[in-house]
Amino acid sequence: MSSTATATQEELPTDPPLGALVTANPAAARVLERFGLDYCCGGQTRLTVACLEAGVDPDEVRAAVADLDVASDVEWADLEPVELIAHILETHHTYLWDELPALEALAATVASVHGQRHPELIEVGALVAEFRAELEPHMARAERALFPMIGQLVDGTGPASAADLESGPIAAMRTEHDHAGDLLARIRQRSSNFELPADACASYTSLYQRLEAMENDTHLHVHKENNVLFEAVPGL
């Protein structure tokens, strides 16, 4: 970012924070997801501590990460704050604005058809609706307030200081990210890790596949904000 280049995967310490691991190689997100390690809201937690809390062998995680190719899209980790905001808007906000209403409608349809035999779908549908109700205002606040304030702080045109942002909108965004992560965890738990039953139809299958894709995208989205963008705000 700005004045300091992001560490490469080879330059990281043997016990890096989870967020730094994904920033160095975004492909590591898939490994951490597989082991149930939270790199977005828990991005400051070091690998060994996170593995201990999750009951995972850290050497197994290190080996899996070492086997990865370095992702070609790692360039976002070295974008300046305003450029990273544009990337987040284009890559993640656009996706969620389109996907959230479609997923809520699909979840309601699948629950109405299969909910009697699979009652967990009713709760999954309610959680998806709650997630949308949380995320859409959250994104709107970021687009209308926080992101412009960061841009103004970077170019020196705004009244807010870095301390104002950290104690106000950034702190609020981090809290909302935590809640969004909790909702995603509950969706995963109620769907039994998106495991499909034998009688799942095409819509049922599509719902679980798209929910898992949204979970993965949101985790990376939150990581980019919590552990890259907010850390790069001048003065923080």
Residue 35, domain extent: 18-74
Among 31, 49, 74, residue at a domain's last position: 74
Q: Look at residue 164 and tell me whether its pLDDT is greater than 80.
A: no
Enumerate the β-bridge partners of residue 17. 46
* 38: in domain: yes
- Per-position DSSP letters for 1-54, written without gaps between them: -TTSPPPPTTTS-SS-BHHHHHHH-TTHHHHHHHTT---STTTTSBHHHHHHHH
Q: Are residues 89 and 163 in the same domain?
A: yes
Residues 98 and 66 in one domain: no
Q: Are residues 67 and 89 in the same domain?
A: no
Residue 204 falls within a domain, yes or no? yes
Pair 70, 83 in one domain: no
Whether residues 183 and 69 share a domain: the answer is no
Mean pLDDT within 166-170: 86
DSSP letter for each residue of 185-218: HHHHHHTTTTPPPTT--HHHHHHHHHHHHHHHHH
Q: Is residue 165 part of a domain?
A: yes
pLDDT for res 167:
80
What share of the chain has pLDDT > 90, as a percent? Answer: 60
Q: What is the mean pLDDT of residues 78-94?
A: 93
Residue 185 lies in a domain: yes
Instruction: Examine the fold and report which residue of 74, 97, 116 is the final residue of a domain before the chain moves on.
Output: 74
Both 118 and 58 in a single domain? no
Indicate whether 92 and 186 sit together in one domain.
Answer: yes
pLDDT of residue 74: 53
Chain segment 172-204, per-residue pLDDT in tens: 999 999 999 999 999 999 999 999 999 999 999
Domain count, the chain: 2
Opening angle at CA 109, ends 108 and 113, nearest 5: 115
Residue with tokens 């959250």: 138
Most confidently modeled of 29-33, 138-142, 201-205, 230-234? 138-142
Q: Within a domain: residue 51? A: yes
Mean pLDDT of the chain: 87
Within 13 Å, how many C-alpha atoms sit on residue 48's CB side? Answer: 4
